[in-house]
Structure 1
Amino acid sequence: MTKETLLMQYQSECLSALKSVANIHKPFEKAFMDTMKLFMAIPDRINFLQLGRYGCFSEQTYRNLFEYETFDWFAFNSSIISKHLTGKRKAIAIDPSYIPKSGKKTPWIGYFWSGCAGEYKRGLEIMGIGVIAIDNHECMTLGSIQTPDCKTLDNIDKNLVDWYSSYLISRKDKLQSLSRTVVADAFFSRETFITPMCENDFHVISRFRNDVILYYPTLEQKTGKRGHSKWFDGRIDFANLDLTRCKEYEVNKEKLYGLRVYAKALKRYVSLAIWYPMGGRTDKWQLYFSTDDSMDGREVLDYYRTRFQLEFCFRDGKQHAGITNCQGADFRKLDFHFNASLAAVNLAKAA
Structure 2
Amino acid sequence: MTILPVLLTLPHLPVTQQRFFLHLMPLWQAIPGRINALNLSRYSGWDERTFRRWFAKALPWNTLQWSVPELLVRLGTLGSGFVLLMDASFVPKAGTRTAGIGKFWNGPASRSEQGLELSCLAKMSWVGRHVFPVRVVQTQPAGTKQTD
Quickly name the TM-score band, shorter chain normalised: 0.5 to 0.7
Aligned: 1:31 with 2:20 = yes
Could you list the runs of 5+ residues in structure 1 that have no partner in the other structure?
Answer: 1-8, 157-162, 164-330, 333-351
Q: 1:92: Cα distance to partner?
A: 0.5
Distance 1:30 1:155 in 2: 39
SS in 2 for 1:75: helix
Distance 1:65 1:100 in 2: 34
The answer to whether the Cα contact below 8 Å between 1:87 and 1:133 also exists between their aligned partners in 2 is: yes
- Which amino acid in the other structure matches residue 129 of structure 2? H
Alignment of structure 1 residues 9-158 onto 2, 5 Å: 9=1, 13-69=2-58, 71-85=59-73, 86-97=78-89, 108-111=99-102, 125-141=117-133, 143-150=134-141, 153-156=142-145
Q: CA RMSD in A?
A: 3.7
SS in 2 for 1:147: strand
Alignment of structure 1 residues 292-311 onto 2, 5 Å: none
SS in 1 for 2:3: helix
- Which amino acid in the other structure matches residue 73 of structure 1? W
Distance 2:36 2:90 in 1: 18
Instruction: Go from structure 1 to structure 2 and tell me whether the alpha carbon gap of 1:120 and 1:92 turns closer, same or farther (over 3 Å shift).
Output: same
SS in 2 for 1:93: strand
Distance 2:49 2:123 in 1: 34
The answer to whether the Cα contact below 8 Å between 2:69 and 2:132 also exists between their aligned partners in 1 is: yes
Per-residue CA distance 1:150-173 (angstroms, 9 max, x = gap):
2xx5144xxxxxx7xxxxxxxxxx
State, as a whole percentage, how many aligned pairs show the same letter: 23
Could you list the runs of 5+ residues in structure 2 that have no partner in the other structure?
Answer: none
Structure of larger gyration radius: 1
SS in 1 for 2:127: coil
Q: 1:54: Cα distance to partner?
A: 1.5
Per-residue CA distance 1:290-322 (angstroms, 9 max, x = gap):
xxxxxxxxxxxxxxxxxxxxxxxxxxxxxxxxx
Q: 1:55: Cα distance to partner?
A: 2.8
The answer to whether the Cα contact below 8 Å between 1:132 and 1:139 also exists between their aligned partners in 2 is: yes
SS in 1 for 2:85: strand
Q: What is the TM-score with the length of structure 1 in the denominator?
A: 0.33
Which of structure 1's runs of 4+ aligned residues deviate more than 6 A? 112-116
SS in 2 for 1:33: helix
Q: What is the TM-score with the length of structure 2 in the denominator?
A: 0.68
The answer to whether the Cα contact below 8 Å between 2:62 and 2:135 also exists between their aligned partners in 1 is: no
